Amino acid sequence: MMKKRLFIISNRLPLTIETTDNNVTMRQSSGGLISAITTYLKGSGKEFFSEKIWAGVPGCTEKIWDIANNEHSPADYNYLPVFMKSKMYELYYNGFSNSLLWPLFHYFPSFAEYHSSYFDAYMEANRSFADILSKQVRNEDFVWIHDYHLLPLAGMLREKFPKLTIGFFLHIPFPSYEIFRVIPKQWQREILTGMLGADLIGFHTVDYSSHFLSCVEMALKTGHDGQHISWENRQIKVDAFPISIDFDLFNNAYDNTKVEAIRKTYLKLKKDKKLLFSVDRLDYTKGLYNRLKGFKKFLLANPEYHGKVVFALVVVPSRDSIRKYAERKKIIDEFIGNLNSTLGTINWQPIIYQYNHLDFEQLIALYTTCDVALITPLRDGMNLVSKEFVASRKDKQGVLILSEMAGAARELTEALLINPNDTDEIAEMIKQGFEMEKKEQEERITAMQERISRYDVNAWAGDFLSQLKEVKDVQLGFEIK
């Protein structure tokens, strides 16, 4: 047992605060990063550290925070709120993080916006995190920094705490040098040297790790041995840790009574129709448009399926104050309206579309009612929806169609893999998915379930933290206990 303090640092705190006239409520937020870390802190990480502190932006004023935090004290960890001026937050979050890093790291270079005001706010926001943390951390603590909003933070902390144990994990792809090099040189340097402030740098896949290593080599003229970089008298390790889900939670949810009741209603509505299902945040990286085009091609090529198939498409609102996201919504809405009105009839609506959040039980009911899950991102760091779908199929039925551009495609090799730019292939795979024999469905789902359950979210976090400890022990010349 480590019995040290663990600091988790992410842009958002894992909660949403809502204020009505005379009430302040706090509830846990969703999202890949948040569910992975909260699962670990409540699960196998519970006993591992003497104290757990989560630092991030709370999304409310200090006054509201004081009321909310007093009334709803957290159970498994403490919060360390980082407050920022709204103008700075806007330039750091909507600006540098989501209008430059996000599009660029997902291979949308033409969407990236370069403004020095974005970069200045990004550095300033990271400094705010560093200042607040500096008042709390001690050299013997463990600090685990998450995601693209906080790339320079490890370097800033390292200047003040030379012996601190710092891990960094990136939840999105790390691009090849040909993409990375389009960032102004000074910014490239700040990003890479900032990341090198960590002792262990983790990515979802070996491709992203090797891209990072070659960016360090090209931009900083610093070599590596394939996994280690020597930087400012420290050995830094770079490795792949494919993030996962709480397998048991999703697998056991199949028998949850609320899920069973909802599934019964869906099955009644579905009757003998085939059900295609997808759920994502509204994001141009998710390939929603191509997915819809693929579905349209499937319907046009297979008239025998008219009236016999329904596509349940759930889109979760996200980052809607950024123009590119709002534009996407319009394109999707129009395509669906058009398809339903031209191919549908009074008795049959080909696409049922929901633009809203889904609660957990409804999500599992849809995962376990559908015949085919269609996941087609143009680029995705990992894609946890694909793992959730597979894990929830306790009945060992259902077909996963998955984009080979998702990090998850490296592990879920028994899925029907597609190129998301090939809408003919999407159409063909939908047909193949609907017509797959039950035995083959079972074989494919079983193989994928075994893999996900072996390396679930607790294994992912445990693996990262134990490697972080090893790296630090070696650095400090200690015996590994």
* Binding flags for ligand F6P, 304-323, as an x/- string (CB under 6 A): --------------xx----
Q: Does 350 bind ligand F6P (CB under 6 A)?
A: no
DSSP string, 112-172: ----HHHHHHHHHHHHHHHHHHHTT--TTSEEEEESGGGTTHHHHHHHH-TT-EEEEE-SS
> How far, in Å, CA of 477 to CA of 444, rounded?
46
Half-sphere exposure of 66 (CA within 13 A, CB side): 2
82 versus 219: smaller Cβ distance to ligand F6P: 82
Q: Does 31 bind ligand F6P (CB under 6 A)?
A: yes
* Binding flags for ligand F6P, 46-85, as an x/- string (CB under 6 A): ----------------------------------------
Strands (E), 186-336: 200-203, 228-231, 234-240, 274-281, 309-316
Q: What are the structure tokens assigned to 206, written together?
A: 């070996």
Q: Does 95 bind ligand F6P (CB under 6 A)?
A: no
Q: Does 33 bind ligand F6P (CB under 6 A)?
A: yes
Q: Does 171 bind ligand F6P (CB under 6 A)?
A: yes
Contact region with ligand F6P (CB under 6 A), list: 29-37, 194-202, 230-238, 432-440: 29-37
* CB-CB contact of 170 with 154 (8 Å): no
Q: According to CB under 6 A, which residues from 375 to 434 bind ligand F6P?
A: 381
Residues sharing a CB contact under 8 Å with residue 53, sequence separation 6 or more, in sequence order: 5, 6, 7, 8, 77, 78, 79, 80, 136
Q: What are the structure tokens assigned to 358, written together?
A: 């889904």
Angle between helices 185-195 and 116-134 (to 10 degrees): 20
> How far, in Å, CA of 228 to CA of 361, rounded?
44
Q: Which of 79, 99, 147, 180 binds ligand F6P (CB under 6 A)?
A: 147
Contact region with ligand F6P (CB under 6 A), list: 27-35, 38-46, 122-130, 214-222: 27-35
Q: Does 286 bind ligand F6P (CB under 6 A)?
A: no
DSSP for residue 94 = I
Contact region with ligand F6P (CB under 6 A), list: 26-34, 125-133, 248-256, 336-344: 26-34
51 versus 320: smaller Cβ distance to ligand F6P: 320
32 versus 175: smaller Cβ distance to ligand F6P: 32
Q: Which of 6, 15, 150, 172 binds ligand F6P (CB under 6 A)?
A: 172
Instruction: Tell me the residue type at 131.
Output: D
* CB-CB contact of 33 with 146 (8 Å): yes
12 versus 328: smaller Cβ distance to ligand F6P: 12
Least CB distance to ligand F6P at residue 12 (A): 5
Least CB distance to ligand F6P at residue 240 (A): 16
